[in-house]
Amino acid sequence: MLALRDAPLVEPYIGPAILRNRASGVFFHEIFGHRIEGHRQKDVDEGQTFTKKIGQEVLPTFLTVHDDPTQAVFGEEDLRGFYRYDDEGIPAQDVRLVENGILKTFLLSRSPVEGFPMSNGHGRRQPGRKVVSRQGNLIVESTRQVSFDRLREMLIEECKTQNKEYGFLFEDISGGFTGTGRRGPQSFKVLPIVVYRVYVDGRNDELVRGVDIVGTPLSSFSKIIATGDDPAVFNGTCGAESGWVPVSAISPSILVSQIEIEKRTRSQDKLPILSPPIALR
């Protein structure tokens, strides 16, 4: 915390970056997972990013994505997205959403989608809310894996190719949100909390602050170059139409050739003139 307080603020940037495993998990949860929830494919107010893309390549061919709420642990870590039955009484299922980059199906509740008449055990809700299809444990797997050290070398190589002085390493993340409706921008924002500049000239990495990752899904997916061999878990709580539900995302680190960051909002309020009364005791 002390280091972050003294870290320099960052200016807007477009260029290469690594999203460390937990950060990558949130990235996929926000920009991919929400857009393959079944109810969004038949709502005319939704952007329907992937509705007509079954059987088409939507991710790099070295990536496979599935959602498996039957998985209770990963390594030694409990998964918050684990459940045996969904909130409509359907047994949880491991659903292969994308295989070798090709979109295969959607997350489905009992509410059918054209071409997919049956639930696959992903109808979820907060008590008192209406069920819709939701994520459980979203898992990203890769056949183009390298060590993290090699991924870092590839980041520097990509920076040199693009004539960039530095790239970014997003080490950890607090969460994010995405817009999927047609009435607003169908974009996403991911909220990093530990971010480093990685310099091409060999200088030590520099801790920085005050940045958010922004973008649109189709463009962002096309920029993924490679992944690490270091999958890790992000456990969280996701809010959507059916309320707040526990979820997990598992992903390796990813290298992207281009990512956009913008300045984060910050308060301009001044500190109180007097100390709090309890401090005077």
Instruction: List the pLDDT tens digit at each of the 281 positions of the chain.
Output: 777 777 777 888 889 999 999 989 988 998 898 889 988 888 777 778 888 999 999 999 999 999 999 999 999 999 999 999 999 999 999 999 999 999 999 999 999 999 999 999 999 999 999 999 999 999 999 999 999 999 999 999 999 999 999 999 998 777 665 656 556 555 667 777 888 999 999 889 898 887 888 777 667 888 999 999 999 999 999 988 889 999 999 999 999 998 888 777 666 677 788 887 776 65
- Domain holding 258, by residue range, is 2-266
**DSSP conformation class of 46:** B
In a domain, 277, yes or no: no
Per-residue pLDDT, 265: 67
Per-residue pLDDT, 279: 65
Query: DSSP 3-state assignment of 226?
Result: strand
In a domain, 169, yes or no: yes
In a domain, 188, yes or no: yes
Q: What size, in residues, is the chain?
A: 281
CA dihedral 116, 122, 123, 129 (to 10 degrees): -140
In a domain, 220, yes or no: yes
Tally of CA atoms within 13 A in the half-sphere of 139 that contains its CB: 19
Per-residue pLDDT, 91: 97
Beta bridge partners of 14: 260
Per-residue pLDDT, 269: 75
Domain count, the chain: 1
Per-residue pLDDT, 151: 95
Largest Cα–Cα distance of the chain, in whole Å?
69
Per-residue pLDDT, 162: 94
Residue pair 63/124 in contact by the 8 Å Cβ criterion = no
Per-residue pLDDT, 214: 79
Residue pair 18/226 in contact by the 8 Å Cβ criterion = no
Per-residue pLDDT, 110: 95
In a domain, 103, yes or no: yes
Concatenated DSSP letters for 100-120?
Answer: TTEE---B--SS-BTTB-S--
In a domain, 73, yes or no: yes
**CA 5/CA 1 separation, integer angstroms:** 6
In a domain, 276, yes or no: no
**DSSP conformation class of 113:** B
In a domain, 275, yes or no: no
- The count of other CB atoms within 10 Å of the CB of residue 162 is 13
Per-residue pLDDT, 183: 62
Rg (CA), the chain: 20
Per-residue pLDDT, 186: 56
